[in-house]
Structure 1
Amino acid sequence: FYSGWNEQPLQVVYRHKAAKFRFEDIRLMEQEEQDAYIADFAERDKAEGFHFSSGELMRVSVLRTGEEAYRFVWSFHHILMDGWCLFLIVGEAFHTYF
């Protein structure tokens, strides 16, 4: 999103712009250590925020917590999705997952 174009905000949609993706394997941590790490990870992710100047308005993180267990952290700027469309997108994501 750019401001200052014809005194109106302008949304630019890139053809090839990947979301930031992070993967961390924390299986070797004890359960209490994992819980603390995940809580801290979520706080740091939230504090990172989003900046229109970078063009990155979404992040996806996967934390592997066990042999077949993961934590999924999906962060995005509110300008991308509101409560109405978030319901549809999360429903589609879960449908695809299942």
Structure 2
Amino acid sequence: MSKHKKIVRFQPGDRVAEKPKATFIPNISKWKTNIVAKNCTQRYGTITKLIEKKNTNGIVSTYYKVSWDNNTTGEHAQSRLCFEFELPQVLEEYTAKLYGN
């Protein structure tokens, strides 16, 4: 019997934000900083589809198809997303972990 409890957090139509990404990467060349900066912007979008995938151990993980506000789509793990209204709190916790505030 598995100890893993499947939790589906989002439903199609929910507004979500992508959780913060690291913006500092040591030892990166200067010509790549523009590429990194472009991919470190905050994204907001809407869940369009729920996808379940099994890993090699047979454990099912939940992924979501997200339609971002900039007219792109992506498939993301549940752990990379938060509700749009939760983002300020998530950013505060992320900053506290980085800087110890």
Bigger RCO (CA 8 Å, 6+ sep): 2
Larger-Rg structure: 1
Question: Please, what TM-score do these two structures have when normalized by structure 2?
Answer: 0.31
Higher percent of residues as helix: 1
